[in-house]
Structure 1
Amino acid sequence: MKIMNGFLGELLGTFVLIVFGAGVNCGVNLNKTYGKKNGDWLLITFGWGMAVTMGVYVAGSIGSLGHLNPAVTIAEAAFGLFPWSKVVAYLLGQFIGAFLGAALVVVHYYPHLKVTKPEDGNHVSNFATLPAISNPLFNFLSEIIATFIFIYVLLNLGNFTVGLKPFIVGFLILAIGMSLGTTTGYAINPARDWGPRLAYSILPIPNKDSSHWEYAWIPMVGPIVGGLLATALFKIQ
């Protein structure tokens, strides 16, 4: 039952995270939304911060630890902070929840996707991430650095699903987005990137552009490496 609670908590928590996160991206970038004219990076980072907060609250209430992120789950398991027996359930919940969240955002914004061409804002970065400057080495390092800072601070919070701690996590996401996120869009979470990227690839979205799978290894591998380094430092401090 605990494993099922973990699966459902991670699925629904990540689902909520992506609905809010991809939703704010679409609200800022798609034509004829009220956010198109007034949107900016601060709005996006704040939206993602609150997305994580609400996702953690949902996940924690169902009985999971609110990881919502394979980089957190894998790193904690690798250093004995989380049981390997629960890893598969958590990862499945995270990736499935991210896909479903993106699918709901597609339904919600469908009329705006129909009137927005790729050059006007209908692109995969509403759902997944792309670099501001394509440089695989430095894009990879950006994801490692941002995830390292995120998970290191997260680990020092202890149980972050209780009380007001999910808001602290949300403000942590906001701070990382404003300080380190403007180079790659700060995936810092493989599920947050790959689930919505897959949804954008296979769903019948009008006017869609390339899903840029050639870049997708960076938001998958970079956060995992950053998470492992952060957890290693936490364990020896």
Structure 2
Amino acid sequence: MHYSLMTELIAEFIGTALLMVFGNGAVANVELKGTKGFKSGWITIAMGYGFGVMFPVLMFGSVSGAHINPAMTIAQVVVGMFPVSDMLPYIIAQLFGALAGQLIVVATYYPYYKATESADSIFATFSTTDAAQSRTNYFLNEFFGTLILVVGALSCLILPWGAKDPAAASIVVGFIVWGLVTSMGGPTGPGLNPARDLMPRLLHQILPFPNKGSSRWKEAWIPVVAPIAGAIVGAEIFHYFIV
């Protein structure tokens, strides 16, 4: 079934918003003082991001492709798998979806933001940084993490077995994200998605939380550029060596 571009953009908007609600919502549940999930651990966060990708892909994969990530959209354009004319509208929908999803997280956790004294904990519910304060490590982690994500997601969704059973493929993509967050998430979060990092960072800058600390704009280019570069390389690997 063919959908209009507007329908596809709405799907990208909602899908990206859901990613933020499940993913950054899980971080807020773990990091913010007084929540029922406070200090429940990294597995909670990994599950949140895994489901935050799985459900939108299940819901909207057949509508828009469920990119829910500007890096995925750009990479598919570069290798000729997606029309360049739709790239900018998709990215805009994803950016605003990330903004809307983060606003939902803030609204539902607002009392706990006010109760939390740790600036690092507050920032973690919005954006990423490198735990070792190394920009080189930050870039490498986001680059390789996104590369693996893109190769894995495209392999699941486009190869014959996934095309035949898109629901099963969508579930596996969710497990890929879950696995990546548990295995490669320690250094940076991870982001793996420019919209997931940039728009929440903007909100962190604007919103008047006590004890929120710096929005760390000097390093903000890394979780934008590194995922895009990693996604392009991943799409090239898939396009030229797998299909």
Instruction: Calculate the TM-score normalised by the size of structure 1.
Output: 0.93
What RMSD over aligned residues (CA atoms) do the two structures have, in Å? 1.6
- Name the residue aligned to 1:27: 29
Equivalent pair of 1:123/1:210 in contact (CA under 8 Å): no
Q: Secondary structure at the residue paired with 1:230?
A: helix
Which AA in structure 2 matches 1:42? Answer: I
Aligned to 2:123: 124
2:56 match: secondary structure: helix
Q: Which blocks of at least 5 consecutive residues in structure 2 are unaligned?
A: none
The question of 1:221 aligning with 2:225 is answered yes
- The aligned residue for residue 57 of structure 1 is 58
Once the two structures are superposed, the pairs formed by residues 1-237 of structure 1 within 5 Å of their partners are 2-37=4-39, 39-60=40-61, 63-119=63-119, 122-159=121-158, 162-237=166-241
Query: Are the structure 2 counterparts of residues 158 and 210 from structure 1 closer, same or farther at C-alpha, using a change threshold of 3 Å?
Result: same
Q: Deviations over 1:182-224 (max 9, x none)?
A: 1111111001111111122212334322111112111000001
Q: Unpaired segments of 5 or more residues in structure 1? A: none
The alpha carbon displacement at 1:15 in A equals: 0.5
- What percent identity do the matched residue pairs reach? 38
Which one-letter code corresponds to 1:139 in the other structure? Y
Which whole-Å deviations, capped at 9, do the CAs of 1:90-122 have from their partners, x for residues lacking one? 101110000110011111001111111125x64
The question of whether the paired residues in 2 share the 8 Å contact of 1:11 and 1:93 is answered with yes
Aligned positions, number: 234
Q: Could you report, residue by residue, the CA deviation over 1:141-196 in whole angstroms, capped at 9, with x for unpaired residues?
A: 11111111110111111347932322111100011111111111111100111111
Q: Report how far residue 235 of structure 1 moved.
A: 1.8
Task: Tell me if structure 1 keeps the 8 A contact 2:69–2:94.
Answer: yes
Instruction: Name the CA distance, whole Å, in 2 between partners of 1:113 and 1:207.
Output: 9
- The residue type paired with residue 182 of structure 2 is M
Contact 1:122 1:209 in 2 (8 A): no
Q: 2:157 and 2:110 mapped to 1: Cα distance?
A: 40
* Matched AA of 2:89: A
Distance apart, 1:236 and its partner CA? 1.6
Following TM superposition, where does structure 1 have runs of at least 4 consecutive aligned residues deviating by more than 6 angstroms?
none
1:135 partner amino acid: S
TM-score, length basis structure 2: 0.91
C-alpha change, 1:57 and 1:201, in structure 2 (3 Å) is farther
Conserved? CA contact 1:147–1:223, under 8 Å: yes
